[in-house]
């Protein structure tokens, strides 16, 4: 099982939450203030940033099959996101950082 931080459309009540069906919600969480969210047109991209903010999200415990499906959704192979350790308040868990250019994209604040 892998603990993962989700911050956008995978959160409870959002359009891609069904991708977490059968997985276990752990808690609401917040990152260290070293990331920024950008509106990528219907979903957020989180990047590491010198002028970061504390991004709100959720921690989930996800099994191996669930992680493989999330990697497909987040287009790891295509280079849209990278799964790595995310610095949260109090712990580090895996999560997805956006890899593509965010130039000209609107800042999405701290919560999607």
Which segments of the chain are extended strands (E)?
2-6, 24-30, 35-39, 44-48, 56-62, 81-87, 92-98
41 exposure class (CB count in 10 Å sphere: 0-12, 13-18, 19+) = exposed
How many CB atoms lie under 10 A from the CB of residue 76? 16
Among this protein's residues, is 74 annotated catalytic?
Answer: yes
CA angle 74, 79, 85 (to 5 degrees): 65
74, 77, 87, 91: the catalytic one is 74
Cα separation of 5 and 27, whole Å?
10
Q: Which residues are catalytic?
A: 74
């Amino acid at each position: 099982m892998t603990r993962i931080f989700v911050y956008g459309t995978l959160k409870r009540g959002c359009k891609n939450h069904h991708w977490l069906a059968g997985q276990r919600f752990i808690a609401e969480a917040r990152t260290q203030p070293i990331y920024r969210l950008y509106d990528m047109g219907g979903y957020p991209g989180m990047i590491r940033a010198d002028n970061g903010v504390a991004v709100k999200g959720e921690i989930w415990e996800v099994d191996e099959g669930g992680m493989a499906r999330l990697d497909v959704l987040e287009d790891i192979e295509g280079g849209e996101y990278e799964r790595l350790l995310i610095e949260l308040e109090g712990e580090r868990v895996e999560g997805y950082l956006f890899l593509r250019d965010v130039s000209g994209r609107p800042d999405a604040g701290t919560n999607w």
